[in-house]
Amino acid sequence: MPQRVCNFSAGPATLPYDVLEQTAKDVVDFQGLGMGLMEVSHRSKEFMAVVDRTEELLRELMQIPNGYKVLFLQGGASSQFFMVPMNLLSIGKKATYLNTGTWAKKAIKEAQLFGDIDVAYSSEADNFNRVPHQDEYTINEESEYLYFVSNNTIFGTQFQKFPETETLLISDMSSDILSRTIDVSKFSLIFAGAQKNLGPAGVTVVIIREDLLSRAQEAIPTMLKYSTHADKGSMFNTPPCIAISVVCRVLEWLKGIGGTDVIQQRNEQKSAIVYEVMDSGSYYRGHAAKDSRSHMNVSFNLPSPELEAQFIAEATDEGLHGLKGHRSIGGCRASIYNAFPIEGVQKLTHFMEMFAQKNPV
């Protein structure tokens, strides 16, 4: 294996090395066909088998029950910000949203084009440093669904307990899908961009209850109806073949290490190592409230912007890349998704301790 840096980027993010190696081979010669993966027909039996296997693995790893469709769509998770209300919000009806960060705000903006959106909770006044408890918001009784973002990459917050509701429950799980075991049956629709835990940018996974496929209005463009893609097995038009293939290999990797129960334990262990260093003194200050801390993204500040810039520069020299925080909040951020190794977290925390000792305030 060539020398690899510790990639703390928030996305596109680190992938299992074995997956990268095999994908590189597939790009040149896919399954010995004498053609690269970018050249093979998406309707060939070889690629159709990849799509079928990807769905099979996702269903197995997430324990997706009968009565749900799995779709592989293009347009990124951002396209789901409008596809969800276009397909599920009846004309003139209401939906409830929880505003816990940038991606929730963007989704609210898009949804307001299609209906009456009730923002039942917002932590914007506190720079999105926490997610709500169940008793901190009320779901409008006329709402057709409740929408929330399970993990907020920028601010390092995560729902450790999901909302409970009798109405339809919609979640953007782009940055923590498959990072823990969840009960899919509690949700009406889950979507996730691939470039955090699943694979590369280019494909978005949608898991939707079958009975919701008929809710879309007739006036919605064909490509923007979930039913279009469900009816054609995600093959209504040419899908992002390479991205789906990489997702398949990532899912095989996850299954090989023991599935979501095992990866959840690893993720909790990795994040605990970083939070322990942060909590050991006042030098590093976490952005998220303790009961809202993410196991995927750890956002933190140093005593000054100057020290933060120095920290990021020296960390990069040590092979610790991608630690600069999002421009909206500054500081630093360590993204430690499923494929990020615990050894990289240990290197980071060792560097954090050494940096604080060498640069006291």
Structure tokens at 134: 């169940």
Structure tokens at 317: 């020299």
Look at residue 217 in the predicted model and tell me its pLDDT.
Answer: 85
Look at residue 3 in the predicted model and tell me its pLDDT.
Answer: 87
CA distance 63 to 170: 18
Active-site residue, from 103, 105, 270, 324: 103
Per-residue pLDDT of the chain (361 residues; tens, 9 = 90+): 678 999 999 999 999 999 999 999 999 999 999 999 999 999 999 999 999 999 999 999 999 999 999 999 999 999 999 999 999 999 889 999 999 999 999 999 999 999 999 999 999 999 999 999 999 999 999 999 999 999 999 999 999 999 999 999 999 999 999 999 999 999 999 999 999 999 999 999 999 999 999 999 889 999 999 999 999 999 999 999 999 999 999 999 999 999 999 999 999 999 999 999 999 999 999 999 999 999 999 999 999 999 999 999 999 999 999 999 999 899 999 999 999 999 999 999 999 999 999 999 9
Question: Domains (ranges, CATH) in the chain?
Answer: 18-256 (3.40.640.10), 258-358 (3.90.1150.10)
DSSP assignment string, 49-110: HHHHHHHHHHHHHHTPPTTEEEEEESSHHHHHHHHHHHHHSPTT-EEEEEE-SHHHHHHHHH
Identify which of 130, 87, 126 has the alpha carbon closest to the alpha carbon of residue 110: 87
Look at residue 293 in the predicted model and tell me its pLDDT.
Answer: 98
Active-site residue, from 196, 225, 270, 324: 196
Look at residue 196 in the predicted model and tell me its pLDDT.
Answer: 97
Angle ∠(196,197,201) on CA atoms, nearest 5: 50
157 φ/ψ angles, rounded to the nearest 5 degrees:
-115, 155
Which amino acid does the sequence have at 179? S
Tell me, yes or no, if 253 is annotated catalytic: no
| Full-model pTM | 0.97
Identify which of 192, 198, 140 has the alpha carbon closest to the alpha carbon of residue 170: 192
Active-site residue, from 105, 172, 176, 270: 172
Tell me, yes or no, if 172 is annotated catalytic: yes
Going 182 to 226 to 245 to 31, the CA torsion angle's sign is positive
Look at residue 328 in the predicted model and tell me its pLDDT.
Answer: 86
Look at residue 91 in the predicted model and tell me its pLDDT.
Answer: 85
